Homo-oligomer: A and B are copies of this chain.
Amino acid sequence: MPTLLLNRKDISGLLTMPDTLKVVEHAFRDWAQGNGKMPPKAYLVLERGDFRAMPAALPGAAGVKWVNVHPQNPSQGLPTVMAIIIYNDPATGYPLAVMDATQITAYRTGAAAAIAAKYLARPDSHTLGIIGAGQQAHTQLMAHLELFKFRQIKVFDLSSAAVAKLIDSFPGYPIRESSLAETAASDIVCTVTPSRVPVLKKEWVLPGTHINAIGADAKGKEELEPSILKEAMVVVDDLTQASAAGEINVPVSKGLFSVDEIYATLGEIIIGQKPGRKDQKAITVFDSTGVAIEDVAMAKLIYNKAKQAGNYLTVNLIEE
């Protein structure tokens, strides 16, 4: 039995945002219903970067994502983050596929935020603000465009070149460069920066805003003034990860925010165990750290699509 090898180009040809939205929402649903397993990420912290092992299982799917973060890589012409998923048959453990997971990670992160917005943003949301115009801004925008009709999309980044690149990637949409304060004054705001000091000020945020806090994914990172969290309905993808490495990690470590103040997990809201937005004037925050069940669900999708397409490289990795 061969193992499929799917590289970045293969994945590109198989990945669509509508599929991703469906699969990621289903993964959160399964997991919230107790039909998934996800032990904590294992961190390997080295001098020039770190690695994370992210194992998880869902009905009919198991696997691990192994992903690095090496901030100095671009100076050597290498990406900062490279990710590989080993995708297994949960019934036998057989490694069905080894695949590049860099784009999978970008797509599923965008999808999780848009799904959170579906449940937490005002249904009549018609402006989107994106703070940070890097790679993740592209998939945030793609995902939200699938679920909302925006009259205005505002983008802020310290680099106008990054903003221009993002705008050029979405021709025909009402998207323009804005100041930080203007961008913050949107119905849905996505923060996708690597910041370690709050970039989003409380005074800029309008009543009724939904915020997707995406950038903070490690200890010490934060993008929102803690006073926003104190007032908001805070929803997390995973309680443990959010407290340790998500948007709330710095406020929690400083005693400014308590884990008890978290309203719900995204899964609890999706399965209706807790209601989503209740008040048109409330501020809602989704604290996204990225969870391995998203990756395993995506690996299953991509594996099945590759098998259907029939166009892939294989290797007999395990057999003699």
Contacts and interface: CB of A to CB of B under 8 A. Distances in A.
A102 B318 contact: yes
A124 to B, nearest CB: 40
A8 B79 CA distance: 30
A66 interface: yes
A88 interface: yes
A2 to B, nearest CB: 10
Given A57-B44, A84-B86, A93-B49, A318 B100 contact: yes
Contacts of A47: 90
Interface in A67-93: 68-70, 73, 76, 78-79, 81-82, 84, 86, 88, 90-93
A43 to B, nearest CB: 6
Interface of A: 5, 7-9, 12, 37, 39-49, 51, 53, 55-57, 62, 64, 66, 68-70, 73, 76, 78-79, 81-82, 84, 86, 88, 90-95, 98-100, 102, 313, 315-320
Given A55-B66, A68-B92, 11 more contacts: A41-B42, A42-B55, A46-B57, A68-B93, A78-B92, A78-B94, A81-B93, A82-B93, A82-B94, A84-B95, A98-B98
10 contacts: A37-B44, A42-B55, A44-B55, A48-B90, A51-B64, A70-B92, A78-B92, A84-B86, A84-B98, A99-B317
